[in-house]
Structure 1
Amino acid sequence: MHILVLGGTTEARALAESLHADGSGTRVTTSLAGRVAAPRLPPGEVRIGGFGGAEGLAAWLREHQVDVLIDATHPFAGTISFNAARAADQAHVPLLALRRPGWAPVAGDDWHFADSLEEAAPVLPGLGRRVFLTTGRMGLAAFAGLEDLWFLVRSVDAPQPPHPPRMRILLDRGPFTLDGERELLRHHRIDVLVTKDSGAAATSAKLTAAREAGIPVLVVRRPPVPEGVPVATTPAQALAWVATRV
């Protein structure tokens, strides 16, 4: 059995590790987009780079005799998810989406919502002047016109222009501690946090720190999973689904 995992997330790596270690002889290939300079590689076969759209992915599925396709990409990697749905349909390969649950506000949170980075940008001036931007290095062009605001931008790799003119870059990779996030907010005098609803505990400490500090949080909603694609929320659920395909 050959399983292709569209990866790049902690859940994808955990799934590949479990599939590789189950002793069944399953062939596991993990595909990474190649946007991170030094990714954490999972066990098994790894390919890096795009497929050339839905048609290219469908051709790869046929050529490499893939039996199961699992989309375990980042919740905001919308393009590859819709390409995966079309490719799986064209190649007649079962598809599962592995998506960690999103975050939900609790008592004391001051959350505001937007459907995209472009929609979030004009909302920011009404929420604060010193922004902790944790949406990654992609999409900073949406905030490039906000010349009166100061940004602390945290990402794994350095962002490229266009980006906000008043900006400090913090290169770091989670998981992040609550004490560390508290100190960042205090030291940089942050008065608004911007985040994507990526979910996961590894990066949720910033939400607690913002709540404690009374700082508003601007949350970018995640795009939907393509219609008709079944969803697992944990690697264990994905493993159980794969077992039904053997």
Structure 2
Amino acid sequence: MGSGRPDLPQGPARGAAGEVLARDLADAVADQRHLVAVVINTVDDSLAHGREGDEPGWQLGDLGYLRSLLDLARSAGRAVLVTSDHGHVLERDGTYVRVSDAASARHRTGPGPAGEGEVELSGPRVVAPDNRIVALWDPSLRYRPSRAGYHGGAALAEVTIPLLAFLLPNVTDPPTGWAAVQGREPDWWTAAAPPPRRPRRRPRHRGPRRSRAGRLPSTPDPRCSTYRKHRLPSRRPRPSRKTWCRRWSIPNCSARSTA
């Protein structure tokens, strides 16, 4: 863990050509006599420049050099604390509120009272003139032009921050008061597997209908309506109209009655 005053490397954390991290930062992480604090400002920069709208995913590889920094901390045998100074809200077709005393897109410092969607915050922990601000709690409102997201207000997503602590897997003596957190994912976190699909039965091939006397000719007699429902392979010779009805014993046929 280390003890003493945190080391805050000044200057860029990214290294020069051929280096992922700056040499001063890598040396500070390797020296376990001090705490090392590193600020990765990827989220704030992305909200200001619109990256959140184009690439909404926030995986480990999307947060600047965080993966390389965690690899370096693991190699040095360090514990890692991940937190943030504030949260943010995203732009979702929000409403612009015109004010003259806006200190950010989500709070103002003027003497006016809180209005709709606002809340007044005051006290010694409010770092502002007269220890007082008026902040927006409604995430759909903003005081400044549209961007990908905003922070500085009083919405739940802005005032809630994470605090995650990670130890190496081989650590058997955690710090006093630390306890492993069990995974508590909600039921909807993992989608249920769909039920297995039954194999579709292939339809049986049905051949042409047969009459009791055999197959019927393929060319119908226009005077015989019963004949139109049957077919005969083209190999058989076509019977004459006078002998057809008599051969196939079709009753009530006009051709048979005139034969």
* TM-score, normalized by the shorter chain, greater than 0.5: no
Considering fraction of residues, name the structure with more strand.
1
| Highest RCO, 1 vs 2 (Cα 8 Å, sep ≥ 6) | 1
Considering fraction of residues, name the structure with more helix.
1
Higher radius of gyration, 1 or 2: 2
